[in-house]
Amino acid sequence: MFKGLSKSEKLFEEAKQYIPGGVNSPVRAYSSVGMNPPFIVRGDGSKLYDEDGNVYIDYVQSWGPLILGHRHPQVVEALQECLEIGTSFGAPTALETELAKLTIDLIPSMEMVRMVNSGTEATMSALRLARGYTERDKIVKFKGNYHGHADHLLIDAGSGALTLGVPTSPGVPQSIAQNTITAPYNDLDTVKKIFEMEGKNIAAVILEPVAGNMGCIPPRPGFLEGLREVTSQYGSLLIFDEVMSGFRAGLHGAQGVYNIDPDLTCLGKVIGGGLPVGAYGGKKKIMEQIAPAGPVYQAGTLSGNPLAMTAGLATLKVLSAPGVFAEIENKAAKLSEGLQQAAKETGLTAAFNRVGTMQSVFFTSKEVVDFDTASSSDLDKFTKFFQIMLKEGIYLAPSQYEAGFMSIAHTDEDIEKTVAAAKKAFSEIA
Ligand SMILES: N[C@H](C=O)CCC(=O)O
């Protein structure tokens, strides 16, 4: 039984006096769904507990990182042991090499990797590297893809920027924006035309190989292959932003699912197991251009700190054990099938997209393949769906432009309860 959000509301009012909008990342404010956010006191497995005594089945999982759920015993134990040695040294440790080796083993195209502290740092650094390596300035990105909040990437961006109606943020200088060319996602013909005009000036194409920041949108057959071909033809780099899809679309990333060999890959979220970690890596000849091996500068006081490396290592070790990823993917498939059945039974038309452990519901009769089809989905229906689900104890991202995430901790009972709640929501909406 939903107990309301009165204590959370008081805490939110207080937070707004000291923190812009009361939150440290905009989507958390729930302005997109006309509500105030629950304030969380703890997480455990698939559940989140709020200040008002409500319990939720959590499909946000900290926006993707917690593929093992909250407080997985092996992650907690490893972190407790790590606290005995210290939190940060600003000096090399064997833990960094161990996580680098495991990451390279899991991500097919990676020969070397550099650890950073967030997905934003990973994409920003990968693009600097691409520009330094190719000696070119322009980049191509896709409308509705989100690559963090660096200036040159906050252009036609997805995620919170899109949810809040500022896909291109004020504060990005025109001199920087002019080097970012945008194209519709899944539209290879437009990319080819861009290359015909600008190919010799393009350092890289960066994309989410499975888009997760305008809802979950898979690449169309041939799209990734076509990008690989056109970038190689013009000597530009292909950068996969797998901050979300890495270890989520498949254990070996979207590149493993679709069998594509990008030049550089950006990681984040799961690789940190709930602590702030990002990474970028790829072909050795490119990666060796990074300082101190080469001239392209990138650094970080807390990069590779032992706590973050430990959480990432513990997470990837559990995740890569035989059968674990398949089990999580099966749970995601079960949820998706249950939701589709519930929609059918209630006469509601919706699009259900899923790749691996990421999924989305769009309230539309169209196939959702890009920003235009995602944003023409019925936002009012999504808002009603979100509000009903929250009151039924199902915690979803407060935006139709965000994917939902499954974890190993979700049980059959969680999935059944979620489908029953969705059926109730669908019949009210239909
Ligand atoms: N989709 C975003 C990250 O990838 C959501 C997280 C945030 O903006 O706080």
| Average pLDDT, integer, range 44-68 | 98
Residue 165 has pLDDT above 90, yes or no: no
What mean pLDDT, rounded, does the chain reach? 97
Contact between residue 49 and residue 257 where contact means Cβ atoms under 8 Å apart = no
Contact between residue 409 and residue 68 where contact means Cβ atoms under 8 Å apart = yes
| 134-151 pLDDT per residue, tens | 999 999 999 999 999 999
Nearest-atom index, ligand 1, CA of 158: 1
Nearest-atom index, ligand 1, CA of 244: 4
| 288-317 pLDDT per residue, tens | 999 999 999 999 999 999 999 999 999 999
* Nearest residue (CA) to ligand 1, atom 2: 159
Q: Which of 214, 399, 402, 405 has most ligand 1 atoms within 8 Å of CB, for mutation?
A: 402
Nearest-atom index, ligand 1, CA of 213: 1
Q: Considering the chain, tell me which residue range(s) the CATH 3.40.640.10 domain(s) occupy.
A: 73-319
Q: Which of 24, 66, 121, 146 has most ligand 1 atoms within 8 Å of CB, for mutation?
A: 146
Contact between residue 315 and residue 240 where contact means Cβ atoms under 8 Å apart = no
Q: Considering the chain, tell me which residue range(s) the CATH 3.90.1150.10 domain(s) occupy.
A: 6-71+323-429
Q: Give distance in angstroms: CA of 27 to centre of ligand 1.
A: 7
CATH of domain 73-319: 3.40.640.10
Nearest-atom index, ligand 1, CA of 403: 1
Asked if the interface predicted TM-score (ipTM) of this complex is over 0.95, the answer is: yes
User: What pLDDT, on the 0 to 100 scale, is given for residue 356?
Assistant: 98
Strands 55-58 and 394-395: parallel
Residue holding tokens 């979300």?
244
User: What pLDDT, on the 0 to 100 scale, is given for residue 164?
Assistant: 87
Catalytic residue, chosen from 50, 58, 156, 241, is: 241
Residue holding tokens 């995601």?
332
Q: What would the two tokens of residue 263 be?
A: 């030049």
- Active site includes 269? yes
| 311-341 pLDDT per residue, tens | 999 999 999 999 999 999 999 999 999 999 9
Q: Give distance in angstroms: CA of 161 to centre of ligand 1.
A: 9
Assign domain 6-71+323-429 to a CATH class: alpha beta
Catalytic residue, chosen from 56, 146, 395, 401, is: 146
Q: Which residue intervals of 31-138 are DSSP H helices?
A: 73-83, 94-106, 119-134
Contact between residue 34 and residue 163 where contact means Cβ atoms under 8 Å apart = no
Q: What would the two tokens of residue 104 be?
A: 């390279």
- Active site includes 241? yes
CA dihedral 342, 362, 213, 226 (to 10 degrees): 110
- Active site includes 280? no
